[in-house]
Chain A
């Protein structure tokens, strides 16, 4: 029943033997020890399992691993290189935009996607773009600040 898939994971070519029912999050955790994408609601509603597949955000808890054969997969772990944080990650720290941290990788990835589409988002754009990510600690006001700060810093860099 199992099959081998090959894909690019955070810039590296990799292969994994998977079962047909396995989700992308399970494969990332079991085969690659990547725990940044994590299952919470298991319905694709909370955003904790966010993963980028071919440049689009997907709910890794619902996305069958079989579908990533040949794809480019990026997780939150690709953002920091040699300990240097991305501007979005740094902004989340600077604004205190998390508490327990369980939802944070999902927010960080979605903020990156938001800023690709809208380099200077207004508050309404931020809220609507991040509406699929939930934070039970309620760090939303700080998250909005962090998105704005990251946008400012990234515009300065370019």
Chain B
């Protein structure tokens, strides 16, 4: 069998599930129905912070068709300590004693008819003693309103252990990095610049809202759980549910078909603990399907405030101070990881001798915040690339040249001290400048429609250390099946992983069957997040396929066949077993090397297994009479290593950019105090086909990740990095006005234009 070179990697294989998706027959949890199933409807808190005085379920219970109304007292009969979370065990299955945000689950109604459950949920009345609340991330640092009386780190992450039992604080993690002497950097600089940037809460808004179902099997003494869930992290769900129940992992089965979008929302525990507890309580299958509105009460992207200060000498940035506050909402979710893992990239892809970073994860009384396509990176790039452009403008330097003079080059230490490897930063910048015709004159126009252009460059580390395991099963006829727990939520992982198997085993990718995550069948994977799968699972899949290939070769030797005899696999099995029988099982396990950062300085020789680079160029047209901005052209260039599937890579880049375009131009969860006032698709507008720029180009530069499978690495988030600052930079280029908060709405820009003309609008 040929080892490599069968041409499967680098080929734009059509998605394996294409026919299922265009015919409406793809399997989603949304479609699942189980015999005897009950539907659950969640009763949610109406106050942002309050002590629960009472929950009156009487009227709901007596509504015909209601099976049961469940509160935390019932849940505790099956899960005595009902708190979960990846970083902190802070989130209860249903509110315990207190509610911490508007929309927090406080009770559940179960009924066979979902309409009955919904009607009865309206009849549950909870009474609260309201407590002072805090909503702003910077205010939360010093607020007298304390969201959680005591911090409860999960114990999973060593850098959170010092927070155990801490009281009277909203800081869920403080991350610090010191490199060189930032004050000396500022003292020696010719110019010092300081700016503050803000981002807003936005929503993942997968079109398949959160949905989970659970069923029990077995008797009183050997009860088992099967959870069907639209989850990006089936292995985590299994482990965390087993922990909550005090069970061994193998009594919890988690199955995940396709996802109707994820984007970081469907990670860790969302509805899974609730449906599991309910199914155990009533011993009937229970399904909970959230509405679009309820997604707004489940998980958002972190709002953030970023104060950035830089010292520049002779066109070189010699000192940079970054203070970042992340609005984590009422439960930590994965926020503390974002605070650290993304926090250490806050100075940007620049070679700066003196750096200080302080990054804070804050609890507030809002919907919890978590990962959203970029894991905090888009918030950071928004600030440092707006800042970079403002400095270039003030110093009368070309924005491309100013960046080129400062970028991190191969082999140079990043702020953590980790040396840059396989990070094509300069190639990405050069390619973007070329595609934008940066050296050529650009017609900005006069009159009321002004044009401008801007660029932005970002980078990201991969969350580490994380593990992936894969199994390749070769059947007696030579056909191959891949077992892995990577979740295909639209990114094309089934197809890409099949291509890796096919490349190694010298078959066609279309011939590989990919088994979807089922923790009774597919091995452990940390999760499908942070663009980690192509690299981590990809490496595991490649190793598994190579293991299978080597075992096939060993079988040929065992049968006395000469080396390279190239006998079809089916004949080997036939010779060995005397009939069509048997399997060859290849196993691959991958965990990259990693060194944790020093607690005081944030320094580490190995912060990440790979770097992702993404840059965006934008051309805009601004109507000075209305503040309306039209993005005329959006160019995205990224280093994704060697693309396994070029078409899917391009779609990932442009899809990510379009999502970030929504977060840049229009999307914002609006709050009145702690109450969301636009929790519907009618009031919260995501990009439609009419919002797409007339010209969009996406491109991966020629690059190779030497430690990746066939040179590949992650791609799902790279297209988001530069979009927001590139557009803000283009707006300033067009009309000379700078916006420092997202979204870049027509109202915000029009106000800024009027203010710049010394004719400000009244509030």
Contacts and interface: CB of A to CB of B under 8 A. Distances in A.
B259 interface: yes
A43 interface: yes
A138 B687 contact: yes
B97 interface: no
A121 B410 CA distance: 48
A17 B687 CA distance: 39
B3 to A, nearest CB: 29
22 contacts: A35-B31, A38-B31, A38-B260, A40-B209, A40-B292, A92-B22, A93-B22, A100-B207, A100-B260, A100-B490, A102-B30, A105-B24, A130-B689, A134-B686, A135-B207, A136-B206, A136-B659, A136-B686, A137-B261, A137-B655, A137-B659, A141-B696
A56 B292 CA distance: 25
B696 A104 contact: no
Contacts of B35: none
A99 B22 contact: no
Nearest to B687: A138
A138 B681 contact: no
A113 interface: no
B10 to A, nearest CB: 16
A131 B689 contact: yes
Nearest to B697: A141
Interface in A75-96: 75-77, 79-80, 85, 89, 92-94, 96
Contact of B654 (A108, A133, A141): A141
A35 to B, nearest CB: 4
B438 interface: no
A127 interface: yes
A144 to B, nearest CB: 7
Contact of B648 (A93, A96, A102): A96
Contact of A40 (B14, B26, B208, B651): B208
Contacts of B688: 131, 133-134
Interface size range on B against A: 35 or more
Contact of A89 (B23, B30, B680): B23
B66 to A, nearest CB: 17
B30 A35 contact: yes
Given A43-B681, A96-B651, A133-B689, A138 B659 contact: yes
Contacts of B31: 29, 35, 38
Given A41-B292, A42-B292, A100 B651 contact: no
Contacts of B205: 136
Contacts of B260: 38, 40, 100-102
Given A43-B680, A99-B655, A133-B689, A36 B25 contact: yes
A128 interface: yes
Interface residues of A, number: 51
A138 B655 contact: yes
Contacts of B651: 96, 99, 139, 142
Given A96-B648, A100-B207, A130-B689, A138 B261 contact: no
3 A-B pairs with least C-beta separation: A36-B24, A138-B658, A100-B490
Given A100-B260, A138-B656, A108 B22 contact: yes
A65 B680 CA distance: 24
Contacts of B648: 96
A140 B692 contact: yes
B355 interface: no
A109 B18 CA distance: 16
B232 to A, nearest CB: 12
Interface in A36-57: 36-38, 40-43, 45-46, 48
Nearest to B655: A138
A132 B190 CA distance: 54
Nearest to B652: A99
Interface in B666-712: 680-682, 686-690, 692, 696
A91 to B, nearest CB: 9
B261 A100 contact: yes
Contacts of A40: 207-209, 260, 292
Interface of A: 21, 29, 34-38, 40-43, 45-46, 48, 75-77, 79-80, 85, 89, 92-94, 96, 98-105, 108, 126-128, 130-131, 133-144
Interface of B: 12, 14-15, 17-26, 28, 30-31, 115, 205-209, 258-263, 291-292, 489-492, 647-648, 651, 654-659, 680-682, 686-690, 692, 696
B19 A85 contact: yes
Contacts of B23: 36, 76-77, 79-80, 85, 89, 105
A102 B689 contact: no
B490 A96 contact: no
Contacts of A45: 681-682
Contacts of A133: 688-689
Nearest to A21: B115
Contacts of B682: 43, 45
Contacts of A77: 23-25
Contacts of A79: 23
A100 B208 contact: yes
Contacts of B657: 138
A96 B655 contact: no
B690 A131 contact: yes
Given A40-B292, A96-B14, A102 B686 contact: no
A100 B209 CA distance: 13
A140 B208 contact: no
Given A46-B207, A131-B688, A41 B24 contact: no
A71 B654 CA distance: 41
Given A102-B261, A105-B23, A133-B688, 4 more contacts: A43-B682, A89-B23, A101-B22, A102-B30
A42 B291 contact: yes
Contacts of B680: 41, 43
Nearest to A76: B24
Contact of A100 (B24, B206, B689, B692): B206
Nearest to A99: B490
Nearest to A146: B22
A141 B654 CA distance: 8
Contact of A140 (B12, B28, B207, B658): B658
Nearest to A38: B30
A51 to B, nearest CB: 11
A15 B654 CA distance: 45
Given A43-B680, A100-B258, A100-B261, A127 B655 contact: no
A150 to B, nearest CB: 11
A2 B204 CA distance: 38
Nearest to A93: B18
Contacts of B258: 100-101
Nearest to B645: A96
Contacts of B24: 34-37, 75-77, 104-105
A41 B28 CA distance: 17
Nearest to B208: A102
B200 to A, nearest CB: 18
**Residue among B26, B30, B207, B656 facing the most chain A CB atoms (10 A cut-off):** B207
